[in-house]
């Protein structure tokens, strides 16, 4: 692979799923000494008043990722044009980007596991405990990252 392949993770607010995937991806490639990739993340909506859940930051800290400042950002033409691969957390995100920017996207679980299955947000599924849900989601993203990197290296 020549040059860097720029990966863009997309969710709704860019304060939970795509943000976690971005930082988990960066940590994984750094820990594995893998070059040739850069990563970013954005949200389809990304309101200025939104910020990461404390539980998300806490879970990422247990994985050696300390995010002292993350300002969510809304996806735009520049981010889309810079991206070599756009990885969406849900089919809704993929459809939104296809309609808005006429771009090609892949789902996180599709690239990681070959399954067209969403990575659910806390408002998209039933859960009994927000902290447990966040921890499980971050852990699931972490588990998928090595598969994503391997599949991207094969492209």
Q: Torsion-angle region of residue 117: left (phi > 0), alpha (psi -120 to 50) or beta?
A: beta
E strands, 4-105, in order: 5-11, 37-43, 85-88
From first to last of its 155 residues, what are the pLDDT tens digits of the chain? 446 999 999 999 999 999 999 999 999 999 999 999 999 999 999 898 888 989 999 999 999 999 888 899 999 999 999 999 999 999 999 999 999 999 999 999 999 999 999 998 877 666 678 889 999 999 999 999 999 999 999 98
CATH architecture of the domain 5-154 equals: 3-Layer(aba) Sandwich (3.40)
């Amino acid at each position: 692979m020549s040059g860097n392949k720029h990966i863009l993770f997309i969710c709704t607010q860019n304060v939970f799923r795509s943000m976690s995937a971005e930082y988990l991806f960066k940590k994984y490639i750094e820990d594995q000494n893998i070059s040739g990739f850069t990563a970013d993340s954005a949200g389809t909506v990304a309101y200025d008043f939104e910020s990461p859940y404390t539980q998300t930051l806490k879970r990422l800290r247990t994985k050696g990722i300390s995010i002292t400042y993350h300002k969510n950002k809304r996806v735009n033409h520049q981010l889309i044009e810079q991206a070599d691969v756009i990885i969406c957390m849900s089919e809704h995100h993929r459809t939104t980007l296809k309609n808005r920017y006429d771009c090609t996207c892949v789902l996180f679980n599709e690239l990681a596991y070959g399954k067209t299955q969403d990575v659910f947000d806390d408002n998209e599924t039933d859960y009994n405990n927000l902290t447990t849900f966040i921890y499980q989601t971050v852990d699931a993203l972490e588990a998928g990252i090595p598969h994503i990197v391997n599949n991207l290296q094969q492209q």
